[in-house]
């Protein structure tokens, strides 16, 4: 499997997880977000840039 397909599957997985578990926002979750970025070795801004459109899509679906 090539990396492009892996990325497509990863995005679908993240959206599925966000729909199933929900999206929570608080000062504590911001701290956890920073910890997650550090644990997976991704700059926090890149992680935010990755999650933002996915979270918006899930939110838009919920508000339809």
pLDDT at residue 32 in the model:
87
Taking residues 30-50, what's their average pLDDT? 91
User: Distance (Å, rounded) from C-alpha 42 to C-alpha 10?
Assistant: 15
Neighbouring C-alpha atoms within 13 Å toward the C-beta of 12 = 6
pLDDT tens per residue, range 50-64: 999 999 999 999 898
Q: At what angle are helices 44-62 and 3-21 packed, to 10 degrees?
A: 60
Which residue carries 């979750």 as its tokens?
29
């Amino acid at each position: 499997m090539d990396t492009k397909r892996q990325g497509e599957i990863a995005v679908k997985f993240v959206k599925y997880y966000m729909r199933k578990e929900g999206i929570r926002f608080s000062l504590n979750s911001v701290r956890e977000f920073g910890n997650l970025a550090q644990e997976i070795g991704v700059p926090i801004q890149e992680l935010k840039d990755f999650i933002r459109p996915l979270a918006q899509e899930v939110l838009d679906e919920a508000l339809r």
